[in-house]
Amino acid sequence: MKILVTGCAGFIGFHLTKHLLFLNYQVTGIDNINDYYDVELKHARLEQLGIYAKNLQINNPVRSSKFAKFDFYKMDISDQAPVAELFDHSRFDIVCNLAAQAGVRYSIKNPAAYIKSNIQGFFNILEASRKTGIKHLLYASSSSVYGLGKQLPFSASSTTDQPASLYAATKKSNELLAHSYSHLFNLKTTGLRFFTVYGPWGRPDMAMFLFTKAIAEGEPIKIFNSGNMKRDFTYVDDVVDGVLKIIKKSVEEVNRVAKPGIPYKVYNVGKGSSVSLGQFITEIEKKVGIDAIKEHLPMQDGDVAETWADILPMQRDYHYSPSTNVADGVSNFVDWYQSYYGKVPVAYAAVLEDALKK
């Protein structure tokens, strides 16, 4: 089985690729390594996979120095010709499309980037998948598609026609395009609506990272909507476990007769419970050993007050069972953050300085 992971230098893509390689799958990864956030963090993730920045040239393969079954291409999914050529050459069985322009608020400032990557890029993946006859396309959607919906928990069968941001609109568009290709060409597609994923190697623009950095450095943290925000915080290993379960079942079903009907599914991938931002911050404070300096601000454009995933379909179809609680997840992230950045929280720094003087 040959598996393609797009966005493999990204947060979820990196973790998924690493787990696939540990399970001895044949994996190809692509990423354009754009500068939406710290490029060095993306390169550091790739180094964990045996891919080094000095070896990268656009659209040319690099073999991992750590994993014999991993090849990497620096490639942009919005560039149709090299994507089509890669699919023609490699003949993938399963494609995991995690490449996208991320960020709700950034989509207000730079909408063109979202059309290019999330619409044109996804279309290129769909076309290449159709033409080369892949067996299953998994792709990242988002909890943001629920937009202004008020019925909690969010169900994958709920109406999602009120996106609150351009980012959400592009992700909903992905689901509609996938449905069309499943209907017209019998292409098996599964959309995964991820809910506030966090953990080691996380994105610097996400709450977990921003809060930890600010608290550790004695800077104020921005709390929107007076702190009355709730999120279905989902630890990255639980997310990856869900994706792996889908892939494993796909491998088992490859030689079975396809069931009648449109081979199209959309699932929520979350923890299945809602946690207040205040509780999340408290766990960071306990782990770092410092009380946060809080700056209260109004709700931001494109944001929603609460997310909460109905994960019963994933549990029913794939025995999905997220098990990491917020306290353990936060602890793991803070340990990674302090190890990666070599930063000691300001409260400990003062104690350390006094100890050194003695």
d(CA 22, CA 3): 14
Q: What is the share, in percent, of the chain residues with pLDDT greater than 70?
A: 92
**Would strands 70-74 and 61-63 be described as parallel, antiparallel, or unpaired?**
antiparallel
Using the predicted structure, report yes or no on whether residue 225 has a pLDDT greater than 60. Answer: yes
**Would strands 230-231 and 275-276 be described as parallel, antiparallel, or unpaired?**
antiparallel
Residue type, 319: H
d(CA 187, CA 126): 9
Using the predicted structure, report yes or no on whether residue 121 has a pLDDT greater than 70. Answer: yes
DSSP calls for 157-179:
TS-----SSHHHHHHHHHHHHHH
**C-alpha distances in Å from residue 60, one per residue of 19, 64, 226:** 24, 13, 49
Contact 225, 299 (CB under 8 A): yes
How confident is the model at residue 351, as a pLDDT?
A: 37
Phi, psi of 6 (to 5 degrees): -85, 145
Report for 40-49, 102-111, 270-279: range of highest mean pLDDT: 40-49
For 290-326, write each residue's pLDDT tens digit. Answer: 999 999 887 776 667 788 999 999 999 999 999 999 9
Q: Is 139 a catalytic residue?
A: no
Task: Name every residue whose Cβ is closer than 8 Å to that of residue 18 and which is 6 or more positions away in sequence.
Answer: 48, 49
Contact 275, 231 (CB under 8 A): yes
How confident is the model at residue 64, as a pLDDT?
A: 98
How confident is the model at residue 223, as a pLDDT?
A: 86
Task: Name every residue whose Cβ is closer than 8 Å to that of residue 40 and which is 6 or more positions away in sequence.
Answer: none
Using the predicted structure, report yes or no on whether residue 70 has a pLDDT greater than 70. Answer: yes
For 47-60, write each residue's pLDDT tens digit. Answer: 999 999 999 999 99
d(CA 177, CA 173): 6
Question: How many residues would you count in the chain?
Answer: 358
Over range 83-112, report the average pLDDT: 94
d(CA 131, CA 319): 32
Grade residue 21 by pLDDT with cuts at 50, 70 and 90. very high
For 172-210, write each residue's pLDDT tens digit. Answer: 999 999 999 999 999 999 999 999 999 999 999 998 999
At residue 216, the 3 state secondary structure works out as: helix
Strands (E), the chain: 2-6, 26-31, 61-63, 70-74, 94-97, 136-142, 189-194, 197-198, 220-224, 230-231, 234-235, 264-269, 275-276, 293-297
d(CA 161, CA 174): 13
Using the predicted structure, report yes or no on whether residue 137 has a pLDDT greater than 90. Answer: yes
Using the predicted structure, report yes or no on whether residue 63 has a pLDDT greater than 90. Answer: yes
All domains of the chain, ordered by start, with CATH?
2-197+235-269 (3.40.50.720)
Grade residue 43 by pLDDT with cuts at 50, 70 and 90. very high
d(CA 291, CA 282): 8
Over range 251-278, report the average pLDDT: 82
In angstroms and rounded to an integer, the radius of gyration of the C-alpha atoms of the chain is 21
Grade residue 254 by pLDDT with cuts at 50, 70 and 90. low
Tokens 């609460």 sit at which residue? Answer: 306
d(CA 29, CA 203): 19
Residue 152 DSSP class: S
Over range 264-291, report the average pLDDT: 93
How confident is the model at residue 236, as a pLDDT?
A: 98
Residue in 296, 105, 329 with CA at minimum distance from that of residue 212: 329
Grade residue 224 by pLDDT with cuts at 50, 70 and 90. confident
How confident is the model at residue 83, as a pLDDT?
A: 98
Grade residue 258 by pLDDT with cuts at 50, 70 and 90. low
Residue in 201, 279, 286, 273 with CA at minimum distance from that of residue 232: 273
pTM: 0.92
* Mean of the per-residue pLDDT values of the chain: 91
d(CA 216, CA 334): 10
Grade residue 342 by pLDDT with cuts at 50, 70 and 90. confident
**Catalytic member of 25, 36, 106, 167:** 167
